[in-house]
């Protein structure tokens, strides 16, 4: 069975995905997921940050296994193409039967935003004295739009969205579409919650712009040699990782700043009472993407397809 992006879009919702991702992150931190490090090959198509990469991400979890193959080409922006493209294969764990092959671009888009939404829901209650209201976004691409949608499911108090982008026209266009304001980067960074979702190889967020107790959701900067946050932003923050070993291996924000990962989000979600999330310090939640998230989304899509086929 091949499932196209259009078919994925028809059945995959944040209402189903966010709680499933939350449980998957808890399972990962509890050691119930067999997920080896992602293997990455450079494409050798260009120099510098335009050099694309090809990743292979296998995982065994619950009653399924699977693998995502994903490409990331930062230069695709200039060609009018998606920077991320992917294919996900879902396999029955009990017998090894292939269950489905599906387009993974939208799955990658939605699961990334769903991870941030699950993390926000877990961290915000412990971190903020009262519910935050302002959301600053640095970046105006796919993830900016996806995060507004996903966070809307867990953050009803969000009432002010500020968008900054390298190209002001892109920020203006997205702001008009989403009922937001296009602003300079310093103003976006001064919000209660800040998202960095760019393909920039160098920092776009400076710590001096952040509120003393800001929550930063850092989802861009794919790779150990690139980063979105400067040293001040990283070293002044309590760093929470999507997966500790993954972030310590693949996040330039962590590696290049020397910042220490203080907690894993699955641990916090599993037992908030033992989490040591500070109220008087900035928080950075860093994600790099994990196979367990892709397979969790793919399983929802496959089950929805099966349900439809049986009716």
pLDDT digits (tens, 9 = 90+) for 18-29: 999 999 999 999
Are 190 and 211 a contacting pair, CB within 8 Å? yes
pLDDT at 223: 85
- pLDDT of 310 above 80: no
For residue 299, the model assigns a pLDDT of 98
80-89: long-range contacts, CB 8 A cutoff, minimum separation 24: 82/142, 83/141, 83/142, 83/199, 84/108, 84/109, 84/142, 86/294, 88/294, 88/295, 88/297, 88/298
Q: What CA–CA distance (Å, rounded) separates 269 from 133? A: 22
Q: What is the pLDDT of residues 280-304, one digit of tens each?
A: 999 999 999 999 999 999 999 999 9
Tell me what percent of the residues of the chain surpass a pLDDT of 90: 86
Contact present, 82 and 76 (Cβ < 8 Å): yes
- Residue whose pair of structure tokens reads 């196979």 in the numeric block: 291
Domains and CATH numbers, the chain: 2-107+291-309 (3.30.1780.10), 113-286 (3.40.50.720)
- How confident is the model at residue 49, as a pLDDT? 75
Q: 288 near 110, Cβ under 8 Å?
A: no
The pLDDT of 234-251, averaged and rounded, is 97
209, HSE (Cβ side, Cα atoms, 13 Å): 20
Do 110 and 143 meet the contact criterion of CB atoms below 8 Å apart?
no
Res. 244 pLDDT band, cuts 50 70 90: very high
Roughly how many angstroms between the first and final C-alpha of the chain, as a whole number? 18
- The pLDDT of residue 122 is above 90: yes
CB 105 within 8 A of CB 82: yes
- Helix-helix angle 14-29:105-127, to 10 degrees: 70
**What's the rounded Cα separation, in Å, for the pair 52 and 74?**
7
Question: How confident is the model over 188-203, as a mean pLDDT?
Answer: 95
Over range 128-156, report the average pLDDT. Answer: 97
Residue 77: predicted pLDDT: 81
Answer whether residue 308 shows pLDDT above 80.
no
Which DSSP letter does residue 209 get? G
pLDDT in tens, 157-172: 999 999 999 999 999 9
pLDDT attached to residue 141: 92
Q: What are the residues whose beta carbons fall under 8 Å from the beta carbon of 19, sequence distance 6 or more? A: 118
Q: Mean pLDDT in the chain?
A: 95
**Predicted confidence (pLDDT) at residue 235 exceeds the cutoff of 80:** yes
SS3 label, residue 25: helix
What average pLDDT does range 181-207 have in this prediction? 96
> Would you say residue 311 has pLDDT above 80?
no
Tell me the pLDDT tens digit for each residue of 73-119.
988 888 889 888 999 999 999 999 999 999 999 999 999 999 999 99
Short-list 256, 127, 142, CA closest to 193: 127
Report phi then psi at 193, rounded to 5. -120, 130
Residues 58-86 have pLDDT tens digits of 999 999 999 999 998 988 888 889 888 99
**Element (H or E) spanning 264, and its range?**
strand 261-264
**Nearest CA-CA partner of 164 in 123, 128, 208, 209:** 209
Torsion angles phi and psi, residue 52, rounded to 5: -70, 165
pLDDT of residue 306: 85
Please give the pLDDT value at position 50.
81
CB 257 within 8 A of CB 225: no
pLDDT at 199: 84
Half-sphere exposure of 27 (CA within 13 A, CB side): 19
pLDDT, one tens digit per residue, over 27-49 is 999 999 999 999 999 888 888 77
239: tokens are: 């760093």
* Angle, vertex CA 150, rays to CA 144 and CA 152, nearest 5: 100
The total number of residues shown for the chain amounts to 311
Q: Does the pLDDT at position 193 exceed 80? A: yes
pLDDT for the residue numbered 165: 97
């Amino acid at each position: 069975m091949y499932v196209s992006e259009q078919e994925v879009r028809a059945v995959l919702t944040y209402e189903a995905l966010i709680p499933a991702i939350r449980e998957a992150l808890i399972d990962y931190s509890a050691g119930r997921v067999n997920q080896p490090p992602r293997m990455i090959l450079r494409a050798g198509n260009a120099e510098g940050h335009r050099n694309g990469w090809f990743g292979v991400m296998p995982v065994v979890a619950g009653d399924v296994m699977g693998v995502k193959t994903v490409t990331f080409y930062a230069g695709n922006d200039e060609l009018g193409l998606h920077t991320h493209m992917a294919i996900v294969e879902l396999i029955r764990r009990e017998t090894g039967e292939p269950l489905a092959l599906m387009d993974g671009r939208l799955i990658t888009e939605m699961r990334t935003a769903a991870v941030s939404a699950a993390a926000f829901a877990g961290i915000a209650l412990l971190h903020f004295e009262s519910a935050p209201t302002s959301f600053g976004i640095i970046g105006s691409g796919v993830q900016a739009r996806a995060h507004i949608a996903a966070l809307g499911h867990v953050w009803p108090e969000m009432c002010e969205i500020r968008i900054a982008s390298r190209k002001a026209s892109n920020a203006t266009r997205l702001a008009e579409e989403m009922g937001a304001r296009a602003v300079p980067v310093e103003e976006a960074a001064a919000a209660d919650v800040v998202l960095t979702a760019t393909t920039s190889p160098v920092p776009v967020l400076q710590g001096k712009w952040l509120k003393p107790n800001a929550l930063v959701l850092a989802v861009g900067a794919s790779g150990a040699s690139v980063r979105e946050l400067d040293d001040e932003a990283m070293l002044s923050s309590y760093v929470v990782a999507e997966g500790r070993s993954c972030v310590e291996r693949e996040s330039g924000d962590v590696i290049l700043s020397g910042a220490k990962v203080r907690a894993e989000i699955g641990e916090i979600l599993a037992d908030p009472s033992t989490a040591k999330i500070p109220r008087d310090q900035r928080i950075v939640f860093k994600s790099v993407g994990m196979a367990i998230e892709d397979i969790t989304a793919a399983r929802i899509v496959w089950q929805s397809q099966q349900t439809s086929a049986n009716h």
